[in-house]
Amino acid sequence: MTAARSRPYQRRRRGPVLVVVSVLAVLAIVTWTVVLVNAGGASSASSCPVPNPPAGDVLPSGALDPVAPAQPGAVEVRVLNAGGQRGQASLVAAQLRDLGFAVNGTGNDPLFPNENLECYGQLRFGAAGEAAASTLTLVMPCAELVRDGRQDAGVDISVGTGFGDFNPTRAARDALDQLTEPGGGSDGAANADPNAADAAPTQPTVNPELVEEARNVNC
């Protein structure tokens, strides 16, 4: 009788246990799905509306990855407001100056006079400005890349409606620091002879892992 009576009790207990196990399994699946999605790498830069006439050729988000970034002080940039938030271009320009960039002014984006650039923003540059734009992708990895027909090395930043706060990552700031202070230097041979020619200036170097980390964000 005791064994027979215990079976319904065991069945009654087994039901809630199975429910709890099922709930935990679902939570585990959801958690790992989120982890794997976040670990899968950066999402591409935001897609922006095309003005009429077009600003230029839209490039893939990683198009400038092979291009060595320039020193921040050599990057001439103009910040344009296309998102409708008053004063945002001036604020971004001030922050870029603090990071060592050469800001050449601000204004409203003539390509989007209605301030309806509905995306994060754009980096517009010509063939001569690829290195400068490559540096800017460290601090604005979510900006759409647009190559236009300009002949100089200047870059325009167009701030869109989805720009939000400008807050470069620690990796981006560290990369800029490395670019600002060229690595390496003379081996000391020139110092041994006062009449020796000056050593050639050392090109700035930056840790590739820092560059990759700075650009590896979810847009």
| Per-residue pLDDT tens digits for 7-37 | 555 555 555 545 544 534 434 443 433 333 3
Instruction: Check whether the bond before 69 is cis (ω within 30° of 0).
Output: no
pLDDT for position 129: 98
Report how far residue 138's alpha carbon sits from residue 136's, in angstroms, rounded to the nearest whole number.
Answer: 5
Q: Give the sign of the dihedral formed by CA 34, CA 37, CA 39, CA 41.
A: negative
| Global confidence as pTM | 0.72
Report how far residue 89's alpha carbon sits from residue 103's, in angstroms, rounded to the nearest whole number.
Answer: 11
Residues paired with 145 in a beta bridge: 59, 123
pLDDT for position 21: 41
pLDDT for position 36: 37
pLDDT for position 202: 55
Q: Which regions in the chain score pLDDT beneath 50?
A: 17, 20-21, 23-42, 184-192, 196-201
Q: What is the biggest distance separating any 2 CA atoms in the chain, rounded to whole angstroms?
A: 109
* Residue 172 · residue 149 · CB < 8 Å: no
pLDDT for position 175: 98
The alpha carbon of residue 92 and the mean position of all alpha carbons in its chain are separated, in whole angstroms, by: 15
